Structure 1
Amino acid sequence: MPKDHDKNTETLKNETPKKKSRGKKQSGVVDPHAEREAARYDNPIPSREVILGLLDAAEGPMGFEQLTAALQLEDEDARIALQRRLGAMQRDGQLMANRRGKFGLATRMNLQTCRVIGHRDGYGFAKPEEGGDDLFLNNRQMQRVFDGDKVLAAIIGQDRRGRPEGQIVEVLERAHAEIVGRYVEEGGIGYVVPHHNRITAHLLIPPKRKKKAKPGQVVTATITDYPTAILGAKGEITEILGDHLDPGLEIDIAIRSHGIPYEWPDEVLAEAASLRDEPTPKDKEGRVDLRQKAFVTIDGEDAKDFDDAVYCEREGQGFRLWVAIADVSHYVAVGSAMDEEAAERGNSVYFPERVVPMFPEVLSNGLCSLKPKVDRLAMVCEMSIGADGQLLDSVFYESVIHSHARLTYTEVGTVLAEGTHPDVKQAYIPDLMRLHDLYKILRAARDRRGAIDFETTETRIVFNDERKIEAIVPVTRNDAHKLIEECMLIANVATARFLDDSGIPALFRVHEGPSAQRLENLRAFLGELALDLPGGETPTPEDYQKVLALTGDREDGHIIQTMMLRSLSQAAYQPDNGGHFGLHYDAYAHFTSPIRRYPDLLVHRLIRHLIRSDIPLQQVRRLPGVSALKKSSIYPYTAADMSALGEQCSASERRADEATREVEAWLKCEFLRDKVGEVFSGVVAAVTNFGIFVELADLYIEGLVHISALPGDYYQFDTVKHRLIGERTRRVYQLGTPVVVQVARVDLDDRKIDLEFPDSDGVSSEGEKPAAKKGKPKGRSRRGAGKPGKKGEGQKKAEGQKKTQPAAKKATKKSPAKGRRGTRKRS
């Protein structure tokens, strides 16, 4: 392929193939990066660093002719290359061209490269990529951009709340090529109302571009003209997803609105079709044969892909544990079509009764599924574990296994509790009991280590034949779930130690402790409940666990757990080992699911590289006849590559979480549509300045009692203590307060559930009403409003407005808080 200038940053228009260097001197400028540029381009020009240094030293912006003269570029090819480089530097936010077409440093022109964050009320924020305070963008600024766009923004002052206010100077990169939403026609004019609640601008659809869409249908529209400061965006309908309440439509919408790749490119399908149904004899060569060991898989009843199998034996007072993981890296070569598509997807996405896999089914449900009674290739982590549950040593190797049985959590849980199950062969029971004994010592070691153990409730949505929700039921975790979880955890720890010792750039799973601000907020909340988090400015996981141990018998225990969980940061993939705060590990990496997580595949590739290299390592097993492979063919990644891949995989993980939460919220709203007017008991799960979120008992669904629907009074929001207090009645609504509520309104489009109190103050007679406290609480006043007016007014300040209605059936501007979700069995 031609090595065009700066093609690594973004595809350039009007590119021409490279020409062989004519041997002519391109520049008299001394470039410290000349060798790098010469290695990348046949006709090199001065590097970006030289151009940035030249502009930094200049008295002001420079025109193109001034730059070519200063860089001594006379050859026409070099001038064209400079034009491309300047364009790429503009797109990356390094340079800015003024109205006269002169180039200057973005930093010198008081500009920042930012990502746009839209708000459902029409305004937004510009988040600087290099850190710092977000810039407020008013509605007029947001008219020309969408949520996620990359922009150059300048600070132009402060808004009314003292926040830095920004002005968009240039749009560098568009985040959306398509918009998913509902097609609407008014007065002969058609437009798409975006489903994404952070995109508020409508997409105009000219009559000839609406295809066969009918008003009310959900569609996908390609953006043909992006918005400007004057004109709105235009588009063309390219796909009709269906009518509003079609079964499964909510998943199609989430997939498209969040940009989740769901169609396989032809190249991927061709590669998948070339794979055999079973491993060949050649595939099995040079591998450790473990087919005689009684590996079993333990998964849920509805699982289709089995990516891990386990087996253990007694070893003195301790155990020897084998964790076999499907060897995806054997079938997916670096740089192949399947590899590039998997990197783009980042992970499989699990929706209720539907999966968007990271790999085609020939791998995920076939060759890389450890099905029973067939040979499968696996990467094995073999570990020696002491009687105290400590990892003594580990070794990694490529193997062939033969799973002896496909078992379920229910079957194994019954065996562990009762000693038998009609569907489990007697021959497997001693092996399962050994695994259970191993689990007990690993669990005891976890307790001594002080890892945080959040006992959250995972729910499962049960559908009827028409794919309507029949029930929302909690998923009970038995010892079989916990057994597999502990086996996976210790395998991931062994992997992280191995990667750390190798000194080669790799991806770790990093979970940092709480920030100072979150810690302060948590302590203020706990203080109101007569609880204290020890540890000073740097609490440890043991300190968190001490508090959790005190909440087991409390009615508000799960609320306390939720607040403690919210104080922690989200785990991410990083090349620098920062440890795992929640699990209290010094090093942690993901090894156990390469079929559904791309970071795990990268880890497997590094392990294979180390197995087949000449590096003397104790943690790998090599067999005679196994040829060493070049690093470039197995693991060609640099530290910069790992950093970029870590950010990409962390982002795709967040994207999947947001999409699945959105679908669950939609389904729960649909479930409550037929229950408007019904009364439920619940508990206050969150308190805001515009009302209280209540979790409905046994349904694990949250809805909002708007501040205007609280009993007649003015209410002040105490930000520190997370409560609303009535000025006159001193009535208190705070986290954990038991209440009785009625479903007032359900909005499927905005995924919002409005609740109200059917009588009195809503406090449950079964719960103790919080005692009124004297004195004015801290915090800014947020009073109950009258009947909310147009959309958005419900959350604004309402000082001075007298409350006239005991309740108002008004949707709020904030979507309902998510239902509590547990963690999957794999950590």
Structure 2
Amino acid sequence: MARRISAEAAEPAAPPPFPTREQILAFVAEATEPVGKREIAKAFGIKGAAKIDLKRILKEIEEEGAIDRGRGGLAAAGRLPPVVLTDIRSRDRHGDFLAIPVEWTGTGKPPAILLTQQRGPRKAGRPAAGIGDRALVRVERDAEGGYTGRVIKVIGKNKAEIIGVYRAGAQGGRIVPVEKRSQGREILIPPGEEGQARDGDLVSVSLERETRFGLPRGRVRERLGSLGSEKAVSLIALHLHNIPHVFSDATLAEADAAAPASLKGREDWRDRPLLTIDPPDAKDHDDAVMAEVDPDPANPGGFIVTVAIADVAAYVRPGSSLDREALERGNSVYFPDRVVPMLPERISNDLCSLREGEDRPAIAVRMVIAADGVKRRHTFHRVMMRSRAKLSYAQAQAAIDGQPDAATGPLLETALRPLWTAYAALREARDRRGPLALDLPERKVLLSPEGAVDRVIVPERLDAHRLIEEFMIQANVAAAETLEAAKQALIYRVHDEPAQEKMQALGEVLASVGIKLPKEGALRPALFNRILGSVAGSEHATFINEVVLRSQAQAVYAAENLGHFGLNLRRYAHFTSPIRRYADLIVHRALITACRLGSDGLPPEVSLGELAQVGEQISAAERRAMAAERETIDRLIAHHLVDRIGATFAGQIAGVTRSGLFIKLDETGADGFVPISQLGADYFRHEEARHALVGERSGETFRLGDRVEVRLVEAAPVAGALRFELLSEGKTRAGSGKDSGGRKPGGRPFKAAPSGRPPGIRNSGTRHRGSRR
């Protein structure tokens, strides 16, 4: 029997009223976690074409800065998400821990989070949090607008170890931490606990007793040496950033007990002409390449490109001591005088290093490339390979350029030329894709046999470098595509598009040099490339490259795909360096599972939430490594320049703040500071949009990217800090006159202070750290 439907039920319900901007803002602000357009539409019953209006309103609110867009969705501007990765920095006056978020997108200083005591007994084996630790924290907003939090998991332990300078006293001594923010106060060393330390030595200290009030007590564990020793420089960075650098006995035992992988379950590729191309001083070789003409008549002029990657997953099993310590480290860290590896040398430099002429297990991707450089298809294989040759970039390039040696001569026609021919096709496809093309050469510090800085160079960028880079990118894309198609969880390498506020700031900077940034249209790397191309070879080239770089988001690891803006790729995952990056090891395990290449893949119980947490952890480890590497180079160069106080250097303004100018030297790439008080008696106004300091009365202007000459006044090796005196005059705006008068030392004009103006702001002592992707 047919159902009877009432007239009232047959009538369509009237749509709810469209929410106001205030209602949308209130909903986002009250949400316990970031929300998206879908959640907002569901909450207010928005359907159909009305969703277009919602999208427009959300974009307007975001552009106004009232809400922030993060990886998890929209949140009230300046608000912390429910779960935050934090660094525990200090205690408050009641003895409770205070932490700050590792990432902060709001304005001003990041908020402090008061860590409350965890309720109930602590789980067995789980370490308690302490100062210097990195921890995941669940946060709540209190009634006064501040934050309280509870530690979910300690990510990196401080191990109660401090590095500092020992100061001897009549009754024992004290330790002055090299980085005071890591502890916030001195450490008492009782008589008899100073070990072999002498006054002024750099030492490692373990905390013997930490009280809620008063100075903590410690014991000198190790005398690291004189502050004048280059060996101590990288140790400072290791300790300051809590980078694990000593493997546990259990991990070393696992590595030593590992037996070489067998051919069982693998394809035998030992007769294929795979070869490694690396820096000349490389100790581990985790990727090998080859290319050949595709014999398939359906792919005329095409190629088959193969990238084989060391099979680290065969030795590092989930849940093992090797695995736990690799996750804790996150990645290898590279200093001029040492490498802190993610895995013990038995694994990284032996069993997993694709050594010339030796059998090694690998996971390989075989990519079929069309004549126009477009990838048609690909397959993954678990193989046993034998590298045909170990070549350096310069060695391979010289062979292609007509200067083969004894190693490359026999490989020139059979292996090297096919690689370069295939690369030419891939390069055309890359050019059509149009990834971001910044021109910012990287410097390399070369040390003498004694460990001192010998010189700083800018290595030549060769086609051999670009070839390997492009092959690795294609392999990484193939990995992400395969795992997505198999619906297999993975960790992506994501790079979001620039934030709206950064684009607005970039537009103001570009306008100051006569370049107009389009206000509408989708953001694409091609837009930035057109800007960079328009200033190539001009006086503004370096300046514009720097500000474009600073406008970009930072690439991170995530379990959700946001694409890679800089490479202009929809999906991207790191697959090619599992010896030195934990993210790549996760991708290897995911491929083993998805492609049914063995039983040692990603465990089925691993959830997307767990992978998201791993992504946060290894992203933080990557930033930690970058900071440690950068600061170590700063300290090495500062030590190198100690004997050159009073010398003059050419450089470029690399940063502009209210406190003064940061100068990057041409000779070494070192950064130093010129306090605003040293610029003259004129009142200098900081114009943030123009990245400039402008004299109020004279119009004298110092802007990011300007060429200058400076004199070195002070070098502090322990802090890695340099202070300069500016010898160059600033540029003058049209129509502005300059005061005449006496000259400061170094030839800069001395100008009378304008009446009623405050004096220049003095150096606050804060080192400038430019943003890096």
Match of 1:435 among 419, 423, 442: 419
Give the alignment of 1:782-821 within 5 angstroms. Answer: 801-802=758-759, 812-817=764-769
With over 3 angstroms needed to count, the CA separation of the structure-2 counterparts of 1:326 and 1:135, relative to structure 1, is closer
Is the Cα–Cα contact under 8 Å of residues 311 and 322 in structure 1 kept in the other structure?
A: yes
AA of the residue aligned to 2:692? R
Give the whole-Å Cα distance in 2 for the aligned partners of 1:114 and 1:341.
19
Is the Cα–Cα contact under 8 Å of residues 460 and 474 in structure 1 kept in the other structure?
A: yes
The corresponding residue for 1:478 is 462
Match of 1:180 among 155, 158, 163: 163
Give the whole-Å Cα distance in 2 for the aligned partners of 1:630 and 1:565.
40
With over 3 angstroms needed to count, the CA separation of the structure-2 counterparts of 1:214 and 1:400, relative to structure 1, is same
With over 3 angstroms needed to count, the CA separation of the structure-2 counterparts of 1:387 and 1:532, relative to structure 1, is farther
- 1:643 and 2:612 equivalent? yes
With over 3 angstroms needed to count, the CA separation of the structure-2 counterparts of 1:264 and 1:170, relative to structure 1, is closer
| Structure 2 alignment gaps of length 5 or more | 1-81, 117-128, 295-299, 738-743, 745-754
Superposed CA deviations along residues 288-312 of structure 1, whole A, max 9, x for unmatched, are: 1222211111011111111100001
The corresponding residue for 2:277 is 298
Give the whole-Å Cα distance in 2 for the aligned partners of 1:598 and 1:138.
29
Is the Cα–Cα contact under 8 Å of residues 588 and 601 in structure 2 kept in the other structure?
A: no
The corresponding residue for 1:39 is none
Superposed CA deviations along residues 714-738 of structure 1, whole A, max 9, x for unmatched, are: 1110111110011121100001211
Match of 1:493 among 477, 494, 503: 477
Match of 2:360 among 376, 381, 387: 376
The corresponding residue for 1:546 is 530
With over 3 angstroms needed to count, the CA separation of the structure-2 counterparts of 1:302 and 1:112, relative to structure 1, is closer
Match of 2:288 among 309, 317, 325: 309
Q: Tell me the TM-score normalized by structure 2.
A: 0.77
RMSD value, Cα: 3.5
Give the whole-Å Cα distance in 1 for the aligned partners of 2:105 and 2:230.
43
Q: Match of 2:181, SS?
A: coil
Give the whole-Å Cα distance in 1 for the aligned partners of 2:689 and 2:204.
43
AA of the residue aligned to 1:814? T
- 1:680 and 2:614 equivalent? no
Is the Cα–Cα contact under 8 Å of residues 491 and 557 in structure 2 kept in the other structure?
A: yes
Q: Match of 1:662, SS?
A: helix
Match of 1:236 among 212, 219, 231: 219
Q: Tell me the TM-score normalized by structure 1.
A: 0.72
Give the whole-Å Cα distance in 2 for the aligned partners of 1:610 and 1:171.
31
Match of 1:735 among 704, 712, 716: 704
Superposed CA deviations along residues 688-743 of structure 1, whole A, max 9, x for unmatched, are: 11111112123212211110111331111011111001112110000121111111
The corresponding residue for 1:697 is 666
Give the whole-Å Cα distance in 1 for the aligned partners of 2:357 and 2:572.
32
Superposed CA deviations along residues 484-512 of structure 1, whole A, max 9, x for unmatched, are: 00000000001111111111211111111
- 1:771 and 2:771 equivalent? no
Match of 1:653 among 617, 622, 628: 622
Is the Cα–Cα contact under 8 Å of residues 204 and 232 in structure 1 kept in the other structure?
A: yes
AA of the residue aligned to 1:358? M
Match of 1:270 among 246, 249, 253: 253
- 1:462 and 2:446 equivalent? yes
Is the Cα–Cα contact under 8 Å of residues 125 and 135 in structure 1 kept in the other structure?
A: no
Give the whole-Å Cα distance in 2 for the aligned partners of 1:145 and 1:773.
59
The corresponding residue for 1:527 is 511
Q: Match of 2:252, SS?
A: helix
Give the whole-Å Cα distance in 1 for the aligned partners of 2:148 and 2:586.
41
The corresponding residue for 1:332 is 316
AA of the residue aligned to 2:436? I
Match of 2:599 among 618, 629, 641: 629
Match of 2:389 among 390, 399, 405: 405
Is the Cα–Cα contact under 8 Å of residues 606 and 635 in structure 1 kept in the other structure?
A: no
Match of 2:715 among 713, 725, 746: 746
The corresponding residue for 2:682 is 713
Deviation at 1:550, TM superposition (A): 1.6
Deviation at 1:137, TM superposition (A): 6.0
Q: Match of 1:566, SS?
A: helix
Give the whole-Å Cα distance in 1 for the aligned partners of 2:180 and 2:359.
48
AA of the residue aligned to 1:599? A
With over 3 angstroms needed to count, the CA separation of the structure-2 counterparts of 1:672 and 1:536, relative to structure 1, is farther
Give the alignment of 1:557-596 within 5 angstroms. Answer: 557-596=541-580
Moved more, 236-245 or 361-370: 236-245
The corresponding residue for 1:54 is none
Superposed CA deviations along residues 389-423 of structure 1, whole A, max 9, x for unmatched, are: 11110100101111111111111111222363454
The corresponding residue for 1:248 is 231
Moved more, 173-182 or 566-575: 173-182
Q: Match of 1:475, SS?
A: coil
Deviation at 1:210, TM superposition (A): 2.9
Is the Cα–Cα contact under 8 Å of residues 712 and 725 in structure 2 kept in the other structure?
A: yes
Moved more, 458-467 or 424-433: 424-433
AA of the residue aligned to 1:305? D
Give the whole-Å Cα distance in 1 for the aligned partners of 2:623 and 2:468.
25
The corresponding residue for 1:91 is none
Match of 2:242 among 249, 252, 259: 259
Is the Cα–Cα contact under 8 Å of residues 313 and 601 in structure 2 kept in the other structure?
A: no
Give the alignment of 1:80-229 within 5 angstroms. Answer: 115=86, 126-127=100-101, 146=131, 176=158, 177-185=160-168, 188=171, 190-199=173-182, 200-226=184-210, 228=212
Is the Cα–Cα contact under 8 Å of residues 116 and 126 in structure 1 kept in the other structure?
A: yes
Q: Match of 2:610, SS?
A: helix
AA of the residue aligned to 1:195? V
Deviation at 1:182, TM superposition (A): 1.1
The corresponding residue for 1:6 is none
Deviation at 1:585, TM superposition (A): 0.4
Q: Match of 2:376, SS?
A: strand
Q: Match of 1:379, SS?
A: strand
The corresponding residue for 1:360 is 344
Q: Match of 2:467, SS?
A: helix
Deviation at 1:439, TM superposition (A): 1.5
Give the whole-Å Cα distance in 1 for the aligned partners of 2:405 and 2:309.
26
| Identity across matched positions, percent | 33
Give the whole-Å Cα distance in 2 for the aligned partners of 1:649 and 1:188.
44
Is the Cα–Cα contact under 8 Å of residues 591 and 604 in structure 1 kept in the other structure?
A: yes
Q: Match of 2:619, SS?
A: helix
Give the whole-Å Cα distance in 2 for the aligned partners of 1:569 and 1:503.
27
Deviation at 1:570, TM superposition (A): 1.2
- 1:386 and 2:386 equivalent? no
With over 3 angstroms needed to count, the CA separation of the structure-2 counterparts of 1:118 and 1:382, relative to structure 1, is same
Q: Match of 1:240, SS?
A: strand
Give the whole-Å Cα distance in 1 for the aligned partners of 2:99 and 2:220.
29
Give the whole-Å Cα distance in 2 for the aligned partners of 1:291 and 1:318.
24
Q: Match of 2:535, SS?
A: coil
AA of the residue aligned to 2:594? L
With over 3 angstroms needed to count, the CA separation of the structure-2 counterparts of 1:114 and 1:376, relative to structure 1, is closer
Is the Cα–Cα contact under 8 Å of residues 262 and 356 in structure 1 kept in the other structure?
A: yes
| Structure 1 alignment gaps of length 5 or more | 1-110, 158-163, 613-621, 623-627, 764-768, 776-785, 787-797
Is the Cα–Cα contact under 8 Å of residues 100 and 113 in structure 2 kept in the other structure?
A: no
Give the whole-Å Cα distance in 1 for the aligned partners of 2:639 and 2:104.
41
